[in-house]
Chains A and B, each alone.
Chain A
Amino acid sequence: MPKSQFVDPVEVRKKGKITFKDIPVNQYDKTVEEEKENYTTEDFLRIYRDMAIIREFETMMNLIKTTGEYNGVPYNHPGPAHLSIGQEAAAVGQAYLLDIDDFIFGSHRSHGEILAKGLSAIHKLPDEELMKIMKEFRNGLILKIVEKYSAAESVKELAINFLIYGAMAEIFARETGFQAGLGGSMHAFFTPFGIYPNNAIVGGSADIAVGAALYKKVNKKKGIVIANIGDGALGCGPVWEALCMAAMDQYKKLWEGEFKGGLPFILNVFNNHYGMGGQTRGETMGYDMLARVGAGVNPEQMHAERIDGYNPLAVIDAIRRKKKILLEDKDGPVLLDTVTYRYSGHSPSDASSYRTKEEIDAWMAHDPMITFRKQLVDASVAPDKTFDEIIDKARDLITKQLKISIDDSISPRMDLNKDPQAISKLMFSNEKIEKMEDRDCDVLMPKEENPQWKRVQKKERFGLDKDGKPVSKNRVYQLRDGLFEALIDKFYTDPTLIAYGEENRDWGGAFAVYRGLTESLPYHRLFNSPISEGAIVGSAVGYALCGGRVVVELMYADFLGRAGDEVFNQLAKWQAMSAGQLKMPVVLRISVGSKYGAQHSQDWTSLVAHIPGLKCVFPATPYDAKGLLNSALSGTDPVIFFESQRIYDIGELFHKEGVPEGYYEIPIGEPDIKKEGKDITILTIGATLYRALEAAKILEEKYGLSAEIIDARSIVPFNYEKVIESVKKTGRILLTSDACERGSHLKDMAQTISELAFDYLDAPPVVVGSRNWITPAHELEEYFFPQPEWMIDAIHEKILPLPGHVPATNFTKQEMLRINKLGI
């Protein structure tokens, strides 16, 4: 809500109407003859060659899947194959004008796009550069194979072999594939050619690609970004969110100087008319023509256009015009509705029961492999037999590469017997990079002049005064100040760092963590996003995998569901699916609420902990908050940074020296003993630390037991050594957090502790979590969230009967059986 823009009641209440410009539909009508001035014979033939290679590649895949053999080479491929036979002209047309600075992101059906973009890049790149790329990629692993087995006569031919082999080996899950076989058919990519990850989640690339466009814009990188998705993906919420985020007014209205202007982003829909078996036009969607959707997004109507994907020249023409809009006019984003058709099914198991043979035959009659060839022959570009030669050559290329890519001696799979850690070591990059780029940071004032920074410096950095009394909330350095210091420090260190989310600018974040950052940072480094949690996280994924560092925020853990795919499938997985080629320096701040009922008070750390590939922390003190955020912001892994709204204003009570003014890191994964004791260990996650301290006091004063309190601080990774050490000493452990007890990550920890310290345990580890209910109103929360008394009761009932203790809550075995039986 920038104050610079006035919401004028007179204006907004005025009578009027919205008018639309016409949206062009297949307006391209030039003949090959007419286009001869723009294309040489070689160009025309190269377009056809690229289409032929893709057609042959996909035909090979289809035959391997359906007949177990291609051109006399038998092979069984059990993995996926979503083929684009019929869509070649659209892919080649799109790639024709793109260079390696232009990024494409794709879908599950993107073999054709990868090959088209790669072939286009190979054509444009000078030989030396091609060789350099091939030599550097995976230390020349693929290059050595194709040099040995392909007998290429030129660098370009070698590079084509390299491209085909790398993609094929990847699809066949070979260690020699582009991503060492960890991506596979639906995820292959090759960033040196501007080919970015393809996504098996329908529409998954849309918001990621927006983040990539954001990266280009904020960091002044060359090129445009295209998200290639299918028409079925228009039904996905995150795709709509991506459109909203790509079309935010602020790019043109609020961002300043050279940053002013629309995102260099094209949402290109390869519209083959089917989302699996659902017919988008006429059955599952209502847009009639997909290009119409642009009219609903912004006044520019996203420069939307339907183009004929069965004519490669029409697609090239469109890309030429749209590139100008994006780069010269700075008037993105763009929506392209590229009409095409796939002859093969959704996948080999698809019997095409949803369409008629007549329809397929009719499209086959329009097949560009035939019609474009005829046009070229008719226009005397080349004699007919030239095209036969091109096709034969393509078949030869594919056959040779198939042979070597399925040969186990040349193209082995990852050997997990020899190296059992081969995949696990790719789950995190675990690097420490202070700044992602070395240049000046765009800021509006020196850090020392920032008013909030100055305010924070005056605060008391330890929460207790000389007499051990708590320092007043107004004077004490709070947990939110720790977060602020870490953030502002990084904003002045890493020029690529940006932060966005809901209410991040001006408001300062819903919980005032960003208060004062607006004063220091221009719009392009700190901005408000639409209420699009999916796109907030998805775009952060795209921003980071391009090479930037980003902090995004979900405000409440309860909103995690809105960003489910982006957190669980994208953020978590791309480092490992890329075999370590991509880094993911994203900090996702998530606040755990209370007081606001069932949809604003949930601790969902357990959901995050369950998904491999995410680091997860939950500091509970200012010292830990600053140190852990510093670590998260200097790492290269995605960190889900949980915070509790109960304790944003808490002072530091444990680190006697107070929170240091300078930079320090607390390693992610190390729990911390907050209070030493000898009779029982209490392990806490998040804000329950303070309730455990109260319980410890009761244990001490009433029952003469001394409790050792360990604050987990991190959830993933987690070093159990300290906890086991403590359990060996005390023999007893209670674990507590605000997460609902069933399926709580604490149960996982309890189980691990049981295994690691079984012989030392005097009782099973006991978990005290929240009830398996909805969170009730604030006034009833004491019946829902763990209370100190519950901890005492649980200890009495399950661990160590306490003399004279009369439990107020029910932790008996009968109760456990009952609530589990009822699922409550």
Chain B
Amino acid sequence: MATPVIMPRQGNTVESCILTEWFVKKGDKVKEGDLLFSYETDKAAFEEESKVNGTVLEIFFSEGDDIPVLTNVCVIGEEGEDITPFIPNGGSEQKAEEQVKTQEQVVEETGHSEQKLPEETQSQADSDEVFISPRARNLAEKIGADIRFATPTGPDGRIIERDIRKLQQEGHLVTAGAKEAYLNLDQPLQGSGLGGRVATADLNRPAVSFAASEEKTSAALEYEDVKLSNIRKVIAKTMHESLSQMAQLTLNTSFDATEILNVRKKFKANAEKMGLANITINDILLYAVSRILPMHKDLNAHFLGDSIRYFENVHMGVAVDTERGLMVPTLFNANLKSLNQIAIETKELAKACQKGTINPDNLKGGTFTVTNLGALGIESFTPVINPPQTAILGVNTTEQKFREKDGVIEPYISMSLSLTFDHRAVDGAPAARFLRDLKESLENFTVLLAK
């Protein structure tokens, strides 16, 4: 009996994966454990091994195909066996039913009484065409909304009136004068006009850069067009949404890092003896943040438009730099974990990210994020919030500073922190108070540990 190989479902919410590479071809003999193909979700990459011995009888998809999970990808069996029962889409009705069922199951399992509206419906999302109702199109024209920013919530991925209304609220608008030229641009751009409208003045910027690049093209091919990876696309979308939808601003402060540097030295010295992990400055920061955050619930929250969801525990997003790009795995319940646990688990998460084996379910659910550019010598920056979180803490490099103490000028090691917060959810003073408390706890870290 031939065995179909399905596209595995990586995480509950993954609907499809991109097949990145075939390691076998039709007719190849494979043994159990041989690699068949690699694939990736928008968040991670995986490899699929053969679970049986046999011949690859048929391959249903090519590299680059976006394949719904649980769909047959190839069939392995004895030569001459009938593979027709395994051809995908043969029973499309059945599959549709299955999908409906799974949706229902998800609803049941998670116990949510509310079914989330699809962010984007699949059936038409693959196509570049924009499906929009006449009414929505007219409204967009009238108010000068850029429909490329609209998230379709109508049937079959159609943009409907309410999606344009949302754009209007979010400010993806263009002035009438600038509209025609703007809509012909290759890329959307941020507006400087009233309510964030793209005005004619904004149009000149890309025009200049286009002209420059044209000159270069005529000289020689000095660039390379690389298609965005899924991860890049997700980052682009999330970051852009973050900046375009929130009222972000950044507070900077610095603290005396003497204590944490000393503590860290002690940990390092006793690591082997005490069976401790390699506890880094970053781990110490994560620990401190996880203990201070519960006292500043505004910052351990999700801003949901018309409501704010406050979390009891801290699910810490930890920014990790990988070859594919920025990834932010979540350290769940960080406030309940010991410093040592934090150190161990953070390293595991980071490693999984770098290898691309991170479970997609671990890439979400964060309530606050810490990002550290200190190792790269950054002294201050404005980190970008991961929506729908309300804040993100940037950790900068250490530097020697001087201060006057009892009439004596003395040097000390200072470290600075950059907190970006969403002014829609939090005001400046509470954010500043959080930084003040965090600074105090870091400067007196041993006291914090004792708590």
Chain A residues in contact with chain B, CB under 8 A?
731, 758-763, 797-801, 803-806, 812-814, 818
Assembled-state Cα–Cα distance A812/B138 (Å): 26
CB proximity to A under 8 Å, residues B75-118: 92-93, 96, 104, 107, 113-118
Q: Which of A731, A762, A803, A806 has the most CB of B within 10 A?
A: A762
Residues on A with beta carbons closer than 8 Å to the beta carbon of B104: 806
Closest to A797 in B: B155
Is A814 in contact with B93, judged by CB distance below 8 angstroms?
A: yes
Q: List 14 A-B contacts (CB under 8 A).
A: A758-B134, A759-B135, A759-B138, A760-B135, A761-B133, A762-B133, A763-B158, A800-B160, A800-B162, A801-B118, A804-B115, A806-B104, A806-B107, A806-B115
Is B155 in contact with A801, judged by CB distance below 8 angstroms?
A: yes
Is B134 in contact with A801, judged by CB distance below 8 angstroms?
A: no
Closest to A818 in B: B93
Is B155 in contact with A759, judged by CB distance below 8 angstroms?
A: no
Is B136 in contact with A762, judged by CB distance below 8 angstroms?
A: yes
Q: For the complex, is B365 an interface residue (Cβ under 8 Å from A)? A: no
Nearest-neighbour CB distance to chain A for B341, whole angstroms, equals 38
Residues on B with beta carbons closer than 8 Å to the beta carbon of A797: 155
Q: For the complex, is B258 an interface residue (Cβ under 8 Å from A)? A: no
Closest to B158 in A: A763
Is B117 in contact with A762, judged by CB distance below 8 angstroms?
A: no
CB < 8 Å neighbour of B155 from A761, A799, A804, A814: A799
Nearest-neighbour CB distance to chain B for A815, whole angstroms, equals 9
CB < 8 Å neighbour of A763 from B93, B107, B115, B155: B155
CB < 8 Å neighbour of B154 from A760, A800, A813, A814: A800
Residues on B with beta carbons closer than 8 Å to the beta carbon of A762: 133-136, 154, 160-161
Assembled-state Cα–Cα distance A800/B117 (Å): 11
CB proximity to A under 8 Å, residues B104-158: 104, 107, 113-118, 133-136, 138, 153-156, 158
Nearest-neighbour CB distance to chain B for A444, whole angstroms, equals 61
Is A804 in contact with B114, judged by CB distance below 8 angstroms?
A: yes
Residues on A with beta carbons closer than 8 Å to the beta carbon of B156: 813
Is A760 in contact with B93, judged by CB distance below 8 angstroms?
A: no
Residues on B with beta carbons closer than 8 Å to the beta carbon of A804: 113-115
Closest to A814 in B: B96
The 9 closest A-B pairs by CB, nearest first: A762-B135, A731-B135, A762-B133, A804-B114, A762-B161, A759-B134, A804-B115, A762-B160, A761-B134
Nearest-neighbour CB distance to chain B for A368, whole angstroms, equals 73
Nearest-neighbour CB distance to chain B for A701, whole angstroms, equals 15
Assembled-state Cα–Cα distance A813/B124 (Å): 13
Assembled-state Cα–Cα distance A805/B154 (Å): 14
Assembled-state Cα–Cα distance A800/B107 (Å): 20
Residues on A with beta carbons closer than 8 Å to the beta carbon of B134: 758-762
Assembled-state Cα–Cα distance A798/B155 (Å): 6
CB contact under 8 A between A805 and B135, given known A731-B161, A762-B160, A800-B160: no
CB contact under 8 A between A760 and B115, given known A806-B107, A818-B93: no
Nearest-neighbour CB distance to chain B for A338, whole angstroms, equals 66
CB contact under 8 A between A803 and B115, given known A758-B134, A759-B135: yes
Nearest-neighbour CB distance to chain B for A416, whole angstroms, equals 34
Closest to A728 in B: B135
Nearest-neighbour CB distance to chain B for A704, whole angstroms, equals 12
Residues on A with beta carbons closer than 8 Å to the beta carbon of B138: 759-760
Assembled-state Cα–Cα distance A721/B154 (Å): 27
Assembled-state Cα–Cα distance A800/B160 (Å): 8
Assembled-state Cα–Cα distance A745/B275 (Å): 81
Assembled-state Cα–Cα distance A806/B107 (Å): 10
Is A801 in contact with B117, judged by CB distance below 8 angstroms?
A: yes
Nearest-neighbour CB distance to chain A for B113, whole angstroms, equals 7
Closest to B107 in A: A806
Assembled-state Cα–Cα distance A806/B106 (Å): 12
Assembled-state Cα–Cα distance A797/B158 (Å): 12
Nearest-neighbour CB distance to chain A for B138, whole angstroms, equals 6
Is A763 in contact with B154, judged by CB distance below 8 angstroms?
A: yes
Assembled-state Cα–Cα distance A761/B133 (Å): 7
Residues on A with beta carbons closer than 8 Å to the beta carbon of B107: 806
Assembled-state Cα–Cα distance A655/B135 (Å): 33
Residues on B with beta carbons closer than 8 Å to the beta carbon of A800: 154, 160, 162
Closest to B152 in A: A801
Given pairs A762-B133, A801-B117, A818-B93, 13 additional interface contacts (CB within 8 A): A731-B135, A761-B135, A762-B154, A762-B160, A763-B133, A763-B155, A800-B154, A801-B153, A804-B113, A805-B115, A806-B104, A806-B115, A814-B93
CB < 8 Å neighbour of A803 from B117, B135, B158: B117
Residues on B with beta carbons closer than 8 Å to the beta carbon of A818: 93
CB contact under 8 A between A801 and B135, given known A762-B161, A806-B107, A818-B93: no
Assembled-state Cα–Cα distance A799/B156 (Å): 10
Q: Which of B113, B118, B155 has the most CB of A within 10 A?
A: B155
Assembled-state Cα–Cα distance A804/B117 (Å): 8
Assembled-state Cα–Cα distance A228/B231 (Å): 87
Assembled-state Cα–Cα distance A798/B118 (Å): 15
Residues on A with beta carbons closer than 8 Å to the beta carbon of B116: 803
Assembled-state Cα–Cα distance A803/B117 (Å): 6
Assembled-state Cα–Cα distance A803/B162 (Å): 13
Residues on B with beta carbons closer than 8 Å to the beta carbon of A813: 156
Assembled-state Cα–Cα distance A641/B155 (Å): 38
Assembled-state Cα–Cα distance A758/B107 (Å): 36
Assembled-state Cα–Cα distance A455/B413 (Å): 101
Assembled-state Cα–Cα distance A814/B123 (Å): 12
Assembled-state Cα–Cα distance A805/B160 (Å): 18
B240-280 vs A, CB cutoff 8 Å, 1 = contact: the mask equals 00000000000000000000000000000000000000000
Residues on A with beta carbons closer than 8 Å to the beta carbon of B117: 801, 803
Assembled-state Cα–Cα distance A763/B156 (Å): 11
Nearest-neighbour CB distance to chain A for B379, whole angstroms, equals 46
Q: Which of B92, B115, B135 has the most CB of A within 10 A?
A: B135
CB < 8 Å neighbour of B114 from A731, A761, A803, A814: A803
Residues on B with beta carbons closer than 8 Å to the beta carbon of A760: 134-135, 138
Closest to A758 in B: B134
B191-211 vs A, CB cutoff 8 Å, 1 = contact: the mask equals 000000000000000000000
Nearest-neighbour CB distance to chain A for B451, whole angstroms, equals 43
Assembled-state Cα–Cα distance A573/B96 (Å): 50
Residues on B with beta carbons closer than 8 Å to the beta carbon of A761: 133-135
Is B133 in contact with A801, judged by CB distance below 8 angstroms?
A: no
Closest to B132 in A: A762
Nearest-neighbour CB distance to chain A for B376, whole angstroms, equals 44
Assembled-state Cα–Cα distance A797/B113 (Å): 19
Residues on A with beta carbons closer than 8 Å to the beta carbon of B93: 814, 818
Nearest-neighbour CB distance to chain A for B114, whole angstroms, equals 5
Assembled-state Cα–Cα distance A801/B138 (Å): 20
Assembled-state Cα–Cα distance A508/B118 (Å): 58
Nearest-neighbour CB distance to chain A for B305, whole angstroms, equals 13
CB contact under 8 A between A763 and B114, given known A797-B155, A799-B155, A806-B104: no
Residues on B with beta carbons closer than 8 Å to the beta carbon of A798: 155
Assembled-state Cα–Cα distance A330/B156 (Å): 74
